[in-house]
Amino acid sequence: MYHPADPPAGSTNSAGDFEYIEVKNTGATPLNVNRFSLGGGVSFQFPNVQLAAGQSAVIVNNILAFQSRYGDSAIILGTFITGISWLILAFYPSMWGAVATIAVLAIGEIVHQPRYYEYVSRLAPEGQQGTYMGFAFVPLGIGSLVGGWFGGKMLNYFGEMMNRPRRTWFVIVGVGLTTTLLLWIYDRIVKPGKASA
């Protein structure tokens, strides 16, 4: 955003503090942006970070000003939206219910995914962002490892044994809401002081 709106009256920030550039990997495979740089009106050297296919990243001029305007809770909100999306399928188990669920799920992903890796990099001590970015994939690996097994157990229990397969979606919503609550607790109570970038 080249020329964002002016800050509110009395703010110590300038309009330039709210400027940001969003970059996106439009390819079909992950892209390591290490050694990439921006030049001209903006000078930026990318750290050793990998952007997944379709993933976006935001380069900001002033992280605190950016957060004050655009919020720092996108990850929590996106996780909440993603978690409750399964309620649609629980109440409307049909093809159109599945389509609506996927649409709401995608909105949740759109809300939190661009901020996820930025969030992880801000937790890292100076010079260790690349290591922390590598650890950002650990929850995805755990989810891939446990998700299929857990989903299979839930479908077997609620579908085969209890003959109530819709209840599976309520358990999945519970997992999403628990994750949202834990993120909120971490962000509001546990999180170490914000690092400036």
Do 179 and 141 lie in one domain? The reply is yes
Q: Which of 16, 41, 70 is the last residue of a domain?
A: 70
Do 47 and 66 lie in one domain? The reply is yes
| Residue 70 pLDDT level (bands cut at 50, 70, 90) | low
Burial class (CB in 10 A: 0-12, 13-18, 19+), 117: buried
Q: Which of 42, 70, 98 is the last residue of a domain?
A: 70
Do 103 and 180 lie in one domain? The reply is yes
Residue appearing with tokens 């400036």 = 196
* Helix or strand (DSSP H, E) at 103: helix 95-123
Under a CB-based contact definition with an 8 Å cutoff, are residues 155 and 63 in contact?
A: no
Residue appearing with tokens 């607790």 = 185
CA dist., res. 177 & res. 169, Å (int): 12
3-state secondary structure of 181: helix
3-state secondary structure of 38: strand
Give the pair of three-digit tokens for residue 27.
Answer: 């390819």
Do 149 and 65 lie in one domain? The reply is no
Model confidence, pTM:
0.59
Domain that holds residue 41: 1-70
Do 195 and 117 lie in one domain? The reply is yes
Q: In the predicted model, is pLDDT for residue 148 greater than 80?
A: yes
Please count the CA atoms within 13 angstroms of the CA of 120 that sit on its side-chain side.
20
pLDDT of residue 194: 45
In the chain, % of residues over pLDDT 90: 29
Burial class (CB in 10 A: 0-12, 13-18, 19+), 125: exposed
Do 10 and 80 lie in one domain? The reply is no
Do 14 and 46 lie in one domain? The reply is yes
Q: How many domains does the chain have?
A: 2
Do 150 and 59 lie in one domain? The reply is no
